[in-house]
Chain A
Amino acid sequence: MLIQGKAHKYGDHIDTDVIIPARYLNTTDPDELAGHCMEDIDSDFLSKVARGDVMVAGKNFGCGSSREHAPIAIKAAGIAVVIAESFARIFYRNAFNIGLPLIESAEAAAGISDGDEVEVSLEEGVVRNLTTGEEYAFAPITGIAAELLEVGGLRERVRQQLVGQ
């Protein structure tokens, strides 16, 4: 899968409370959640983001609450992939479970600036910064995470497993 879009860059320890504040967790509607994504730290995010864009951040992205509403809001807002130096573990599981790919790359996270045009090939394991011409290799996604992306998430994986039983 080839992803191309604009980078929206944030710092370290972006927690799930700022990705989607708890005051909006009285709904499960992805579009309604997307309507409040990042609003407490970046009130312009929704007016800037376009389908296929890329979110870039520092260490420990998605720390805090286990709310799956966080990756759901990011995905429904149009973000196709999140690149970070590192991810919090519950967010990591949740993202792949709903079919939102994540890339762990300290080099890409450091080298990409807000607003850069970025291209990502998940198969090749390469992030290209089209604005600066730099390239960053990352270890291709394998194992359970790759399986989840391929079948379209954990729901489908479990459904198939139950059919097989």
Chain B
Amino acid sequence: MTITEKILAQAAGRDEVRPGEFVTCKLDLVMANDITAPIAIEEFEKMDAGQVFDRDKVVLVADHFTPCKDIKSAMQVKLLRDFAHSQGLTHFYEAQTGGIEHIILPDKGLVLPGEVVIGADSHTCTYGALGAFATGVGSTDFAAGMALGECWFRVPASRKFIFTGQLNEWVSGKDLILYTIGQIGVDGARYMAMEFAGPVIERMDMAGRFTICNMAIEAGAKNGIIVPDDTTLDWVNSRTTRDFQVFRSDEDAQYAEIYEWDAGNIEPQVAFPHLPENTCGISEVGEITIDQAVIGACTNGRLEDLRIAAQILKGRQVADGVRCIIIPGSQQIHLQATREGLVETFLEAGCLVSTPTCGPCLGGHMGILAAGERAISTTNRNFVGRMGHPESEVYLASPAVAAASAVAGKICGPEEL
């Protein structure tokens, strides 16, 4: 069996599962945010469920429209806060106590290897980087999860992506996942598990692994996953004392397809509007001027991402007329970035530094585009109207490319500065 099959089998109380089978699994954690939880709370109440299945295993994170952008979003966050209080939830976070859901849950040790997690947010697949099975659901599935502590799944077939060779300079996890989506398309892994492996992944830090698994959904996948190794265990053991189980794919595990790519052939990637599959290498981009650069999000708002951006922005200036918005993914990351002098570097370069929020990634607030405007962004989606006006454009790239582009005023890699 693959790691995904083993985790689902264990949670379903079975010795074995096969792709296509339906199973009901016990849930280790259920999570929702300020957009998806309000519907879920209404549904939960109409289910007459009373109490959540386990007040330590239901997590609410207000991060999308926080600090609240308007009265309606403030009412939604209030609903979450009141529900968390009345249910006695251990884990309720908003901007000042947390940050972006998919950054703070792993950071706080709330997701561990081998666990089964559903989140009412499509990027819940991020936690697969820890060797957990984590998948996005809607509000009512989350409400059912809160009530029952279980969820049904169709066991996904797995596709394996092996990266060999050496990463080129300025090439990161973001570039590998954009390259992958460019190769297989936005529905290339629809309903499937994407398992990432190979020497390049084994040498990669957790930040890069989170970025890769974060975007599995952009290829249509049910989950992204990486088998835990020493890097994972060091990371997890520094954040928790809870017990967990490590699963590894068998030598004879069955894959629907295996791809093997030499990372040495991959340059920094850019995804053109309006799908993440519209990728090309930085050398093929041509002359594309920008109005805005966004560095942050659940995809690339980790300390490692900010360090790379600061390395490029140090001693340079953001181009005239360009708004470069930097969004540390959590209060903790913001504090550490301040201590390391990264925030000072950003401010000196003429960047804006925001409190943690999903904000501009989904066209919520903190950097909305006007008609005809163009952004380079380290976020994960470039659909029509994603960051604002339906006639605006979003180009997806790594923190290195976004930072370099902010300085140049057009899309380029750090080597062109």
Question: Would you call B187 and A17 a contact (CB within 8 A)?
Answer: no
B384 touches A17 (CB 8 A): yes
State which residues 45-101 of A face B: CB under 8 Å.
59-60, 63-69, 72, 86, 88-90, 93-94, 97-98
B360-400 Cβ-contact flags toward A at 8 Å (1 or 0): 00111000000000000000010111100010000000000
Within the complex, what minimum Cβ distance (angstroms) separates B116 from chain A? Answer: 16
Q: How far is the CB of A43 from chain B (nearest CB, A)?
A: 9
CA distance A163 to B120 in the complex (A): 25
A28–B38 CB distance below 8 A: yes
A residues contacting the other copy or chain, number (CB 8 A)? 41
* CB 8 Å contact bits of A122-165 with B (1 = contact, 0 = none): 00000000000000000000011000000001110011011100
The docked-state distance in angstroms from the alpha carbon of A21 to that of B362 is 8
Interchain CB contact (< 8 A) of A90 among B138, B152, B364, B385 = B138
CB of B295 within 8 Å of the partner chain: no
A36, chain B: closest CB distance, angstroms: 11
Contact, CB under 8 Å: B140 / A153: yes
Residue of B nearest to A26 (CB): B72
CB distance from A11 to the nearest CB of B (A): 11
Task: Contact check, B364 vs A23: say whether CB atoms are below 8 A apart.
Answer: yes
State in angstroms the CA–CA spacing of A109 and B127 once bound together. 35
Known contacts A13-B187, A65-B122, A144-B152: A88-B220 contact under CB 8 Å: yes
- Contact check, A66 vs B140: say whether CB atoms are below 8 A apart: no
Residue of B nearest to A27 (CB): B72
Cβ-defined contact, A143 with B22, below 8 A = yes
Interface centre among A27, A65, A143, A162 (most CB of B within 10 A): A65
Verify A69–B39 contact, CB threshold 8 A.
yes
Inter-chain CA distance A59–B275, complex, in Å, is 14
- Find chain A residues with CB under 8 A from B42 CB: 28
Roughly how many angstroms separate A153 CA and B190 CA in the complex, as a whole number? 24
Q: Convert A91-117 into 0s and 1s, putting 1 for each residue whose CB lies closer than 8 angstroms to a CB of B.
A: 001100110000000000000000000
CB atoms of B190 and A88 under 8 A apart: yes
- Partner of A17 from B46, B143, B385 at Cβ < 8 Å: B385
The reply on B333 being an interface residue by CB < 8 A is no
Contact A154 B36 (CB under 8 A): no
Interface-central residue, B121, B136, B362, by most chain A CB under 10 Å: B362
Q: In the complex the two chains form, is B141's CB within 8 Å of A93's CB?
A: yes
Contacts of B73 in A (CB 8 A): 26
Residues of B within 8 A of A89 (CB): 190-191, 220, 222
* Residues in B neighbouring A161, C-beta threshold 8 A: 148
* Pair A67/B49 contact, Cβ less than 8 Å: no
Q: Which residues from chain A contact B139 at a C-beta distance below 8 Å?
A: 68, 94
Give the distance in Å from the alpha carbon of A28 to the alpha carbon of B69 in the complex: 16
Chain A residue numbers with a CB within 8 Å of B190 are 60, 86, 88-89
Q: Which residue in B121, B187, B364 is a CB contact (below 8 Å) of A22? A: B364
Distance to closest chain A CB from B230 (angstroms): 33
Q: Is the CB of A94 within 8 A of B49?
A: no
- Per the bound structure, the CA–CA distance linking A21 and B364 in Å amounts to 9
Q: How far is the CA of A60 from the CA of B186 in the complex (A)?
A: 8
Select which of A41, A65, A158 is within 8 A of B144 by beta carbon: A158
User: Hey, what's the 0/1 contact readout for A2-16 against B, CB within 8 Å counting as 1?
Assistant: 000000000001010
A78 to B84, CA, bound (A): 34
In whole angstroms, what is the CA distance A158 to B386 when docked?
34
Minimum CB–CB distance for A108 against chain B, Å: 18
Q: Given that A65-B362, A155-B143 are known contacts, is A17 also in contact with B381, CB under 8 Å in the complex?
A: yes
Q: Is A40 an interface residue (CB 8 A)?
A: yes
**B21 CB → nearest A CB, Å:** 12
Bound Cα distance A159, B140 (Å): 12
Q: Which residues of A contact B152 (CB under 8 A)?
A: 144
B402 interface hit (Cβ, 8 Å)? no
Q: Smallest CB–CB gap between B386 and chain A, Å?
A: 5
Q: How far, in whole Å, are A64 and B136 apart by their CA atoms in the complex?
A: 10
Known contacts A60-B190, A144-B152; is A41 also within 8 Å of B384 by CB? yes
Closest 9 CB pairs of A and B: A94-B138, A26-B72, A68-B138, A22-B362, A60-B187, A40-B390, A66-B122, A40-B385, A97-B140
- Chosen A-B contacts, 14 in total, with CB atoms closer than 8 Å, are A13-B187, A15-B383, A22-B64, A22-B362, A26-B72, A40-B385, A66-B36, A66-B122, A68-B140, A89-B190, A154-B140, A154-B144, A155-B47, A158-B148
Give 18 A-B pairs besides A60-B186, A97-B138 with Cβ atoms closer than 8 angstroms: A18-B384, A21-B363, A22-B64, A25-B65, A26-B69, A59-B187, A64-B383, A66-B36, A66-B121, A66-B122, A89-B191, A90-B138, A143-B22, A154-B144, A155-B43, A158-B147, A161-B148, A162-B48
